[in-house]
Structure 1
């Protein structure tokens, strides 16, 4: 299913759903961030996805990271809650979501980064290289917040 992200775009379609989801900023011992290149739109992104009934947000994010990247993680903190109504995600099946994402800090505990059914490519990316990747601005914002060592409180917005 194809996906198109819009941000602050007057031509974006009107949302018809809000789905609870989460993502993770996974940082390895070398300070690199785990990213994957999505199959549905070709852009680089943090691993994550939507919650299933009966899951916690931490459980859902850990499951999604493993499914999308092959890396198992431990959730260790909250980066923030991202619910900006200017970020709209349209799917080819007609669903149009308003963003609702709980972004978490995570550390790798096992597995090997690899391409999957959802990820064309998976890489550990040094922070200095993140700016060169084709990535939606909301992904960059989450990463910036996660890596900001002076940030004392989670982002709420």
Structure 2
């Protein structure tokens, strides 16, 4: 297996110093059967929610819908907010270009509106996973925390 192109550091004194801050979005898409959409990332082989950077000229909701479609093949409708995650101790290193990004992710909820789970250049596998099994998948601890907040059923968004 090739080395990861993305490395997540959490409160690590050996982490590179952040050199960028990019607003991004993740989306918890849950279908009527109570299954959550997960993808297996190509850059680090971890399971994750769909998501990515918000491009200039698009809104948060537009980015969420676009990233979900691009990475998973699923069309979705945004329905709510899980939380905002901005821990400066979480650094994401992209080894291809040396970018060391400070975490800045807004996590939204959505329901599917069409499409079929389809892999992409960013996702080697896409599947619907039972709520009870989602946390059994190998994933970065920041992603796990976001999903745990969603599964907790909290009525107020998580703010960090």
Tell me if both proteins adopt one fold, taking TM over 0.5 as the criterion: yes
Distance across 1 between alignment mates of 2:105 and 2:76: 18
Instruction: Return 1-10 or 61-70, whichever deviates more.
Output: 1-10
Distance across 1 between alignment mates of 2:141 and 2:52: 17
Match of 2:14 in 1: 11
* Residue 26 of structure 1 pairs with residue 29 of structure 2: yes
Quote the offset at 1:32 in angstroms. Answer: 0.9
Aligned positions of 1:83-94 closer than 5 A: 83-92=86-95, 93-94=97-98
Quote the offset at 1:37 in angstroms. Answer: 0.3
* Residue 98 of structure 1 pairs with residue 116 of structure 2: no
SS in 2 for 1:113: coil
Match of 2:55 in 1: 52
Aligned positions of 1:116-131 closer than 5 A: 116-131=120-135
Instruction: Please list every run of at least 4 consecutive aligned residues from structure 1 whose deviation after the TM superposition is greater than 6 angstroms.
Output: none
Match of 1:145 in 2: 149
Quote the offset at 1:87 in angstroms. Answer: 1.0
Gaps (5+ residues) in structure 1?
A: none
Quote the offset at 1:107 in angstroms. Answer: 0.5
Distance across 2 between alignment mates of 1:83 and 1:115: 28
Distance across 2 between alignment mates of 1:128 and 1:77: 21
How many matched pairs?
156
Gaps (5+ residues) in structure 2?
A: none
Distance across 1 between alignment mates of 2:90 and 2:52: 16
Distance across 1 between alignment mates of 2:46 and 2:143: 10
